[in-house]
Homo-oligomer: A and B are copies of this chain.
Amino acid sequence: MNFTSDNSYGAWPEILAAVADAGRGAAVSYGGDEITARLEARFGEIFERDVVVYPVISGTAANALALATLVPPHGAIICHAESHIAVDECGAPEFFSHGAKLVGLAGAGAKIVPEAVEASLAHFQKGFVHHAQPWAISITQASERGTVYRPEEVGALSALARRHGLKIHMDGARFANAIAHLKCTPADVTWRAGVDVLSFGATKGGAIAAEAVVFFNRDDVADFEYRRKKSGHLVSKMRFVSAQLEAYLAEGRWLRHAAETNGRAKALAEGLSRIEGAELAHPVEANEIFLHLPNRIVTRLREAGARFYDWTPPEAGRTLIRLVVAFATPEEDIARFLSVARG
């Protein structure tokens, strides 16, 4: 019963097959191959516009490369205080950007709102040389608490960003889960809502190690390619990474899998929420469940072999735990978890 992370499970058979196929014959290395060449057209269809796409092998690399490309060393990146870039990347955005400052905001469900951004701008004034210069807003879709920004929420942040000359980055490690929840087009919640760059995740959803940095405006690409090379993220046999992304996107698999996973998470959450003393901390919109559970149930689950994270220390007899349902989480594990929890 492993509910610790999406990354605890392997990869889709279709992705493994695509990788096995990708290596036939000689090809131009470092991304000059045909599979990589096809990617931009594929992403272009999905996002309904021309895009520039760079495959990389980790979400941290995608986020840090995207942000460092947008933001200079004296810039500030406004984000949620609990966001992955702020607390779970060991300072990667600071490293790649050579010291840009992350300004972490509070916000319900790990989402930020325009009012909080506006307030933070008072402390980092544009043009005042003593202050780190606000340069970008980074939002996480789905958020660190499994909630999802609606297009109009993204749009409100973008409108504010435009007024202040800020760029918008979206960390889409679980982008598929968000789209599956929103039932909007990928365009609606990204560039049509004002997003400039997207870290498009596939690893959590079922790839081996494949993410894509998607630029919606060619001008923003700037020196991205040098940054990617310089950070060791220009993979020599790139076709193996690109093939994963291609298989991930083929035949709508990415959304079908995400919808199914979301549904299983929602079902598990509903079952758990009916247990006495249990309380959902946030609506379950993607594939993560944040649940307050009585400590004795938490203990019982662990004793039964369930693995998951405590999200905050136990308090007042209960603990906030996080459960992640992955594409390959066995149905019987979910059933057994629920059964043990019910006691």
Interface residues of A (CB under 8 A from B): 2, 4-5, 7-11, 16, 19-20, 22-30, 56-62, 64-65, 72-74, 76, 82, 87-92, 94-102, 122-124, 129-133, 203-204, 208-209, 223, 225-237, 239-241, 312-313, 328
**Copy total for this chain:** 4
**Of the residues B26, B98, B203, contact of A237 by C-beta under 8 Å:** B203
A298 to B324 alpha-carbon distance, docked (Å):
55
Q: A8 touching B29 by the CB < 8 A rule? A: yes
A94 to B232 alpha-carbon distance, docked (Å):
12
Q: A5 touching B23 by the CB < 8 A rule? A: no
Kindly list the 9 A-B residue pairs having the minimum CB-CB distance in the complex, ordered from nearest. Answer: A10-B23, A61-B232, A94-B99, A2-B26, A74-B226, A7-B29, A7-B236, A60-B232, A98-B98
A225 to B240 alpha-carbon distance, docked (Å):
26
Q: A89 touching B233 by the CB < 8 A rule? A: no
New contact pairs (19) apart from A74-B91, A92-B229, CB-CB < 8 Å: A4-B28, A7-B30, A8-B27, A10-B24, A11-B240, A16-B19, A57-B57, A58-B234, A59-B236, A60-B229, A74-B227, A87-B123, A90-B131, A91-B99, A92-B230, A94-B99, A98-B98, A130-B229, A209-B235
